[in-house]
Chains A and B, each alone.
Chain A
Amino acid sequence: MILDLHTHSIKSDDGRAKVENYCKWVRKKELPLDGFVLTEHRQFDDTSDYRHLEDEYGLVILKASEVETDYGHVLVFGVNDDLVNSFDFARVDNPLPDVLEAAERCGAFAAPCHPGRRNVGLFAHYERKGPVEGVHTVEVLNGGSIPGEDELSVERAVAHGYRGFGGSDSHIVSRIGYCATDFDDDVRDIDGLVTALRGGRFAPVSFREEEMDRDD
Protein backbone atom coordinates (compact mmCIF):
# COMPACT_ATOMS: atom_id res chain seq x y z
CA MET A 1 0.00 0.00 0.00
CA ILE A 2 1.50 3.29 -1.08
CA LEU A 3 0.88 6.54 0.79
CA ASP A 4 2.31 9.99 0.24
CA LEU A 5 3.16 10.91 3.83
CA HIS A 6 3.89 14.60 3.30
CA THR A 7 1.44 16.95 1.59
CA HIS A 8 0.10 20.45 2.22
CA SER A 9 -3.29 21.87 1.35
CA ILE A 10 -4.58 25.43 1.38
CA LYS A 11 -4.79 25.04 5.16
CA SER A 12 -1.06 25.74 5.17
CA ASP A 13 -0.03 29.35 4.63
CA ASP A 14 2.01 28.41 1.58
CA GLY A 15 -0.21 25.61 0.29
CA ARG A 16 -2.03 26.16 -2.99
CA ALA A 17 -3.77 22.81 -3.36
CA LYS A 18 -7.33 21.96 -2.46
CA VAL A 19 -7.70 18.45 -1.11
CA GLU A 20 -10.32 17.49 -3.66
CA ASN A 21 -8.00 18.64 -6.43
CA TYR A 22 -5.30 16.33 -5.07
CA CYS A 23 -7.82 13.50 -5.33
CA LYS A 24 -8.78 14.42 -8.88
CA TRP A 25 -5.13 14.65 -9.91
CA VAL A 26 -4.25 11.27 -8.40
CA ARG A 27 -7.08 9.61 -10.29
CA LYS A 28 -6.69 11.51 -13.56
CA LYS A 29 -2.96 10.83 -13.73
CA GLU A 30 -3.46 7.27 -12.48
CA LEU A 31 -0.78 7.78 -9.84
CA PRO A 32 0.14 4.63 -7.91
CA LEU A 33 -1.07 6.12 -4.62
CA ASP A 34 -3.59 4.57 -2.28
CA GLY A 35 -3.81 7.75 -0.27
CA PHE A 36 -2.00 10.69 1.25
CA VAL A 37 -1.41 12.43 4.54
CA LEU A 38 -2.00 16.15 5.00
CA THR A 39 0.81 17.58 7.10
CA GLU A 40 -0.10 21.24 7.51
CA HIS A 41 2.58 23.62 8.72
CA ARG A 42 2.72 24.54 12.42
CA GLN A 43 -0.81 23.42 13.20
CA PHE A 44 -3.12 20.45 13.39
CA ASP A 45 -6.29 20.76 11.36
CA ASP A 46 -8.84 19.05 13.58
CA THR A 47 -11.88 20.51 11.85
CA SER A 48 -11.74 19.40 8.22
CA ASP A 49 -13.54 16.18 7.38
CA TYR A 50 -12.48 14.50 4.15
CA ARG A 51 -14.38 11.23 4.51
CA HIS A 52 -16.68 12.08 1.63
CA LEU A 53 -13.63 12.52 -0.60
CA GLU A 54 -12.22 9.20 0.59
CA ASP A 55 -15.46 7.54 -0.44
CA GLU A 56 -15.79 9.37 -3.74
CA TYR A 57 -12.22 8.83 -4.91
CA GLY A 58 -11.34 5.60 -3.11
CA LEU A 59 -8.35 7.14 -1.39
CA VAL A 60 -7.15 7.14 2.19
CA ILE A 61 -6.84 10.74 3.41
CA LEU A 62 -5.22 11.23 6.80
CA LYS A 63 -4.24 14.29 8.80
CA ALA A 64 -0.96 14.98 10.60
CA SER A 65 1.30 17.99 11.19
CA GLU A 66 4.64 19.44 10.20
CA VAL A 67 6.10 21.25 13.19
CA GLU A 68 9.33 23.22 13.46
CA THR A 69 12.07 22.54 15.98
CA ASP A 70 15.55 23.66 16.84
CA TYR A 71 16.75 20.70 14.74
CA GLY A 72 14.57 21.38 11.71
CA HIS A 73 11.13 20.35 10.58
CA VAL A 74 9.41 17.26 11.95
CA LEU A 75 6.35 15.35 10.76
CA VAL A 76 4.06 14.18 13.53
CA PHE A 77 1.55 11.42 12.83
CA GLY A 78 -1.22 10.51 15.24
CA VAL A 79 -1.78 13.99 16.63
CA ASN A 80 -4.31 14.05 19.47
CA ASP A 81 -5.48 16.52 22.11
CA ASP A 82 -2.79 15.48 24.56
CA LEU A 83 -0.08 16.13 22.01
CA VAL A 84 -1.56 19.45 20.88
CA ASN A 85 -1.43 20.56 24.51
CA SER A 86 2.13 19.31 25.02
CA PHE A 87 3.91 22.01 23.02
CA ASP A 88 3.15 25.03 20.87
CA PHE A 89 2.70 23.82 17.29
CA ALA A 90 3.00 27.39 15.99
CA ARG A 91 6.50 27.97 17.34
CA VAL A 92 9.51 27.57 15.08
CA ASP A 93 11.96 26.68 17.84
CA ASN A 94 10.40 23.78 19.71
CA PRO A 95 13.18 21.66 21.26
CA LEU A 96 13.39 18.46 19.23
CA PRO A 97 13.84 16.20 22.28
CA ASP A 98 10.64 17.65 23.75
CA VAL A 99 8.70 16.97 20.55
CA LEU A 100 10.02 13.42 20.33
CA GLU A 101 9.24 12.76 23.98
CA ALA A 102 5.76 14.24 23.73
CA ALA A 103 4.95 12.23 20.61
CA GLU A 104 6.09 9.03 22.30
CA ARG A 105 4.15 9.79 25.47
CA CYS A 106 0.96 10.65 23.57
CA GLY A 107 0.99 7.65 21.29
CA ALA A 108 2.05 9.56 18.19
CA PHE A 109 5.00 9.11 15.83
CA ALA A 110 7.46 11.91 15.13
CA ALA A 111 10.06 11.86 12.38
CA PRO A 112 12.24 14.66 10.97
CA CYS A 113 11.52 15.52 7.35
CA HIS A 114 13.90 16.61 4.57
CA PRO A 115 16.84 16.00 6.94
CA GLY A 116 19.38 16.75 4.22
CA ARG A 117 18.09 20.26 3.65
CA ARG A 118 20.15 23.31 4.47
CA ASN A 119 19.07 25.18 7.62
CA VAL A 120 15.90 23.19 8.21
CA GLY A 121 17.36 19.70 7.89
CA LEU A 122 18.19 17.52 10.87
CA PHE A 123 21.67 16.65 9.64
CA ALA A 124 22.69 20.28 9.14
CA HIS A 125 21.94 20.77 12.82
CA TYR A 126 23.77 17.56 13.72
CA GLU A 127 26.91 18.99 12.16
CA ARG A 128 26.73 22.00 14.45
CA LYS A 129 25.23 20.53 17.61
CA GLY A 130 25.61 16.77 17.46
CA PRO A 131 22.97 14.06 17.23
CA VAL A 132 19.78 13.85 19.27
CA GLU A 133 18.66 10.74 21.14
CA GLY A 134 15.27 9.38 20.24
CA VAL A 135 15.35 9.89 16.49
CA HIS A 136 14.67 6.58 14.78
CA THR A 137 13.07 7.42 11.44
CA VAL A 138 13.53 10.23 8.92
CA GLU A 139 12.09 11.24 5.56
CA VAL A 140 14.88 10.26 3.17
CA LEU A 141 12.99 11.03 -0.04
CA ASN A 142 11.31 14.43 -0.29
CA GLY A 143 9.67 15.69 -3.46
CA GLY A 144 10.81 19.24 -2.76
CA SER A 145 14.49 18.41 -2.41
CA ILE A 146 17.07 20.00 -4.63
CA PRO A 147 19.86 17.83 -6.06
CA GLY A 148 22.07 16.42 -3.34
CA GLU A 149 19.65 16.80 -0.45
CA ASP A 150 18.02 13.38 -0.64
CA GLU A 151 21.39 11.76 -1.31
CA LEU A 152 22.68 13.33 1.89
CA SER A 153 19.55 12.24 3.74
CA VAL A 154 19.97 8.62 2.67
CA GLU A 155 23.68 8.57 3.42
CA ARG A 156 23.34 10.04 6.90
CA ALA A 157 20.26 7.99 7.74
CA VAL A 158 22.18 4.82 6.97
CA ALA A 159 25.12 6.05 9.04
CA HIS A 160 22.88 6.72 12.03
CA GLY A 161 20.83 3.56 11.59
CA TYR A 162 17.58 5.43 10.96
CA ARG A 163 14.69 4.01 8.98
CA GLY A 164 13.59 6.06 5.99
CA PHE A 165 10.29 6.96 4.39
CA GLY A 166 9.20 9.22 1.52
CA GLY A 167 6.81 12.09 0.94
CA SER A 168 6.22 14.59 -1.81
CA ASP A 169 6.07 17.73 0.37
CA SER A 170 3.64 18.93 -2.28
CA HIS A 171 2.18 22.42 -2.00
CA ILE A 172 0.58 22.38 -5.44
CA VAL A 173 -1.58 19.69 -6.96
CA SER A 174 0.81 18.45 -9.64
CA ARG A 175 3.51 17.60 -7.11
CA ILE A 176 1.64 14.98 -5.14
CA GLY A 177 3.14 11.53 -5.35
CA TYR A 178 6.62 12.61 -6.40
CA CYS A 179 7.81 10.59 -3.42
CA ALA A 180 5.84 8.26 -1.19
CA THR A 181 6.07 5.30 1.16
CA ASP A 182 5.27 1.70 0.35
CA PHE A 183 3.85 -0.16 3.36
CA ASP A 184 3.74 -3.94 3.66
CA ASP A 185 0.47 -3.70 5.59
CA ASP A 186 -2.85 -2.04 4.89
CA VAL A 187 -3.22 1.42 6.45
CA ARG A 188 -6.79 2.66 6.73
CA ASP A 189 -6.67 5.22 9.52
CA ILE A 190 -4.22 7.30 11.50
CA ASP A 191 -3.84 4.68 14.25
CA GLY A 192 -3.01 2.14 11.58
CA LEU A 193 -0.44 4.51 10.12
CA VAL A 194 1.24 5.01 13.51
CA THR A 195 1.31 1.27 14.04
CA ALA A 196 2.74 0.68 10.58
CA LEU A 197 5.42 3.31 11.06
CA ARG A 198 6.38 1.87 14.42
CA GLY A 199 6.53 -1.59 12.87
CA GLY A 200 9.06 -0.39 10.35
CA ARG A 201 7.70 -2.51 7.50
CA PHE A 202 7.84 0.15 4.81
CA ALA A 203 10.18 1.59 2.21
CA PRO A 204 10.53 4.98 0.54
CA VAL A 205 9.66 5.17 -3.15
CA SER A 206 10.24 7.88 -5.75
CA PHE A 207 8.08 8.47 -8.80
CA ARG A 208 9.74 11.69 -9.87
CA GLU A 209 11.26 10.48 -13.14
CA GLU A 210 8.10 8.71 -14.14
CA GLU A 211 6.13 11.84 -13.34
CA MET A 212 8.34 14.00 -15.49
CA ASP A 213 8.07 11.54 -18.38
CA ARG A 214 4.31 11.54 -18.02
CA ASP A 215 4.17 15.32 -18.13
CA ASP A 216 6.35 15.43 -21.20
Chain B
Amino acid sequence: MTDLQAIRDEWVGVEFESAEFTIDRDRVIAWAEACGETDPRFTDPGNPDFQAHPNFTACLSTGRMMPENFPRIGSGFGIDGGKTVEVHGPVRPGDTLTGRASIHDVYDKTGRSGTMVFVIHRMDFTNQNGELVSTVDSKMIRSR
Protein backbone atom coordinates (compact mmCIF):
# COMPACT_ATOMS: atom_id res chain seq x y z
CA MET B 1 0.00 0.00 0.00
CA THR B 2 1.21 3.49 -0.82
CA ASP B 3 2.80 5.31 2.10
CA LEU B 4 1.00 8.64 1.92
CA GLN B 5 2.96 10.16 4.76
CA ALA B 6 6.20 9.52 2.87
CA ILE B 7 4.70 11.12 -0.24
CA ARG B 8 3.54 14.11 1.78
CA ASP B 9 6.94 14.50 3.38
CA GLU B 10 8.70 14.43 0.03
CA TRP B 11 6.33 16.36 -2.20
CA VAL B 12 3.97 18.72 -0.37
CA GLY B 13 5.07 22.30 -0.89
CA VAL B 14 7.54 21.46 -3.63
CA GLU B 15 7.25 23.85 -6.58
CA PHE B 16 7.79 21.80 -9.70
CA GLU B 17 6.98 24.05 -12.64
CA SER B 18 6.22 27.64 -13.59
CA ALA B 19 4.96 29.44 -16.66
CA GLU B 20 4.09 32.96 -17.81
CA PHE B 21 0.70 33.97 -19.18
CA THR B 22 -0.22 37.20 -20.96
CA ILE B 23 -3.84 37.97 -20.32
CA ASP B 24 -5.70 38.45 -23.56
CA ARG B 25 -8.81 40.64 -23.66
CA ASP B 26 -10.82 38.45 -26.02
CA ARG B 27 -10.09 35.34 -24.03
CA VAL B 28 -11.19 37.12 -20.85
CA ILE B 29 -14.51 38.05 -22.46
CA ALA B 30 -15.03 34.60 -23.95
CA TRP B 31 -14.41 32.96 -20.59
CA ALA B 32 -16.85 35.24 -18.79
CA GLU B 33 -19.53 34.65 -21.40
CA ALA B 34 -18.95 30.89 -21.28
CA CYS B 35 -19.54 31.09 -17.54
CA GLY B 36 -22.85 32.83 -18.13
CA GLU B 37 -21.53 36.02 -16.57
CA THR B 38 -23.50 39.17 -17.34
CA ASP B 39 -21.76 41.69 -15.07
CA PRO B 40 -20.18 44.26 -17.43
CA ARG B 41 -17.07 44.39 -15.22
CA PHE B 42 -16.22 40.99 -16.72
CA THR B 43 -17.74 41.25 -20.19
CA ASP B 44 -17.45 44.86 -21.34
CA PRO B 45 -13.95 46.19 -22.16
CA GLY B 46 -15.39 49.68 -21.94
CA ASN B 47 -16.26 49.24 -18.28
CA PRO B 48 -13.88 51.30 -16.10
CA ASP B 49 -13.31 48.30 -13.81
CA PHE B 50 -13.02 45.73 -16.60
CA GLN B 51 -11.17 42.64 -15.37
CA ALA B 52 -11.07 38.89 -15.73
CA HIS B 53 -13.82 36.83 -14.18
CA PRO B 54 -12.73 35.66 -10.70
CA ASN B 55 -12.34 32.05 -11.85
CA PHE B 56 -10.51 32.91 -15.07
CA THR B 57 -7.19 31.60 -13.74
CA ALA B 58 -8.73 28.13 -13.55
CA CYS B 59 -8.17 27.86 -17.32
CA LEU B 60 -4.45 28.62 -17.09
CA SER B 61 -2.15 25.62 -16.83
CA THR B 62 1.51 24.87 -17.18
CA GLY B 63 0.49 21.66 -18.92
CA ARG B 64 1.84 19.41 -16.20
CA MET B 65 -0.33 18.42 -13.26
CA MET B 66 2.19 16.22 -11.47
CA PRO B 67 5.92 16.53 -10.91
CA GLU B 68 8.18 14.21 -12.80
CA ASN B 69 8.87 11.10 -10.75
CA PHE B 70 5.74 11.65 -8.65
CA PRO B 71 4.79 8.17 -7.43
CA ARG B 72 1.82 6.45 -8.97
CA ILE B 73 -1.02 6.20 -6.49
CA GLY B 74 -3.75 3.62 -6.81
CA SER B 75 -4.90 2.06 -10.02
CA GLY B 76 -6.94 3.04 -13.04
CA PHE B 77 -7.81 6.52 -14.15
CA GLY B 78 -8.05 9.47 -11.84
CA ILE B 79 -11.17 11.55 -11.36
CA ASP B 80 -11.28 15.32 -11.65
CA GLY B 81 -12.48 16.44 -8.23
CA GLY B 82 -12.99 20.06 -9.25
CA LYS B 83 -11.21 23.34 -8.67
CA THR B 84 -11.24 25.99 -5.99
CA VAL B 85 -10.21 29.53 -6.90
CA GLU B 86 -9.17 32.04 -4.26
CA VAL B 87 -9.08 35.63 -5.46
CA HIS B 88 -6.43 37.90 -3.98
CA GLY B 89 -6.63 40.75 -6.47
CA PRO B 90 -7.91 41.69 -9.92
CA VAL B 91 -6.50 40.20 -13.11
CA ARG B 92 -6.76 42.57 -16.08
CA PRO B 93 -6.12 42.23 -19.82
CA GLY B 94 -2.52 43.01 -20.58
CA ASP B 95 -1.29 41.65 -17.25
CA THR B 96 1.52 39.15 -17.32
CA LEU B 97 0.95 36.45 -14.75
CA THR B 98 3.48 33.98 -13.49
CA GLY B 99 1.93 30.69 -12.40
CA ARG B 100 3.86 28.46 -10.06
CA ALA B 101 2.72 24.87 -9.66
CA SER B 102 3.14 22.82 -6.51
CA ILE B 103 1.62 19.86 -4.72
CA HIS B 104 -0.38 21.43 -1.92
CA ASP B 105 -1.70 18.34 -0.15
CA VAL B 106 -2.05 14.59 -0.40
CA TYR B 107 -4.57 12.81 1.80
CA ASP B 108 -6.93 9.89 1.83
CA LYS B 109 -10.51 9.39 2.93
CA THR B 110 -13.02 6.59 2.97
CA GLY B 111 -16.53 6.49 1.57
CA ARG B 112 -19.07 4.25 -0.11
CA SER B 113 -16.61 3.72 -2.97
CA GLY B 114 -13.81 2.58 -0.68
CA THR B 115 -10.58 4.42 0.07
CA MET B 116 -9.77 7.33 -2.21
CA VAL B 117 -6.60 9.39 -2.37
CA PHE B 118 -6.82 13.12 -3.03
CA VAL B 119 -3.93 15.04 -4.55
CA ILE B 120 -4.27 18.81 -4.45
CA HIS B 121 -2.35 20.58 -7.23
CA ARG B 122 -1.92 24.29 -6.48
CA MET B 123 -1.19 27.14 -8.88
CA ASP B 124 -0.23 30.48 -7.35
CA PHE B 125 -0.46 33.40 -9.77
CA THR B 126 1.47 36.64 -9.32
CA ASN B 127 1.20 39.62 -11.65
CA GLN B 128 3.94 41.70 -13.24
CA ASN B 129 4.20 43.71 -9.99
CA GLY B 130 4.89 40.61 -7.96
CA GLU B 131 1.45 40.73 -6.34
CA LEU B 132 -0.31 37.44 -5.60
CA VAL B 133 -3.62 37.70 -7.46
CA SER B 134 -5.05 34.18 -7.54
CA THR B 135 -4.63 30.69 -6.12
CA VAL B 136 -6.17 27.72 -7.89
CA ASP B 137 -6.40 24.33 -6.20
CA SER B 138 -7.21 21.40 -8.46
CA LYS B 139 -8.36 18.23 -6.77
CA MET B 140 -7.47 14.90 -8.33
CA ILE B 141 -9.00 11.73 -6.94
CA ARG B 142 -7.69 8.21 -7.31
CA SER B 143 -8.96 4.98 -5.86
CA ARG B 144 -6.48 3.27 -3.61
Query: Which A residues are within 8 Å of any B CB, using their own CB?
Result: 13, 41-42, 68, 72-73, 90, 92, 117-120
Contact = CB atoms under 8 A, between A and B. Distances in A.
Contacts of B115: 92
Contacts of A92: 108-110, 115
Interface residues of B, number: 10
- Nearest first, the 8 A-B pairs at minimum CB distance are A92-B110, A120-B110, A118-B112, A92-B108, A68-B110, A119-B112, A119-B114, A120-B111
Interface string B94-117: 000000000000011111111100
B135 to A, nearest CB: 15
A75 to B, nearest CB: 15
Contacts of B110: 68, 72-73, 92, 119-120
Contacts, number: 25
Q: Which of B107, B109, B113, B114 has the most CB of A within 10 A?
A: B109
Nearest to B105: A13
B125 interface: no
Nearest to A90: B107
Contacts of A90: 107
Contact of B109 (A42, A117, A118): A42
Contacts of B112: 117-120
B109 A119 contact: no
A68 B114 CA distance: 12
Nearest to A12: B109
Q: Which of A41, A72, A117, A119 has the most CB of B within 10 A?
A: A119
Nearest to B120: A13
B118 interface: yes
21 contacts: A13-B109, A13-B118, A41-B109, A42-B109, A68-B109, A68-B110, A72-B110, A73-B110, A90-B107, A92-B108, A92-B109, A92-B110, A117-B112, A118-B112, A119-B110, A119-B111, A119-B112, A119-B113, A120-B110, A120-B111, A120-B112
Nearest to B115: A92
Interface string B37-79: 0000000000000000000000000000000000000000000
A176 B103 CA distance: 33
Contacts of B114: 119
Nearest to A13: B118
Q: Which of B107, B112, B114, B115 has the most CB of A within 10 A?
A: B112
Nearest to B144: A92
A121 B89 CA distance: 44
Nearest to B111: A120
Contacts of A120: 110-112
Nearest to B139: A13
B51 to A, nearest CB: 24
A13 B115 CA distance: 15
Q: Which of A73, A92, A119, A120 has the most CB of B within 10 A?
A: A92
Contacts of A117: 112
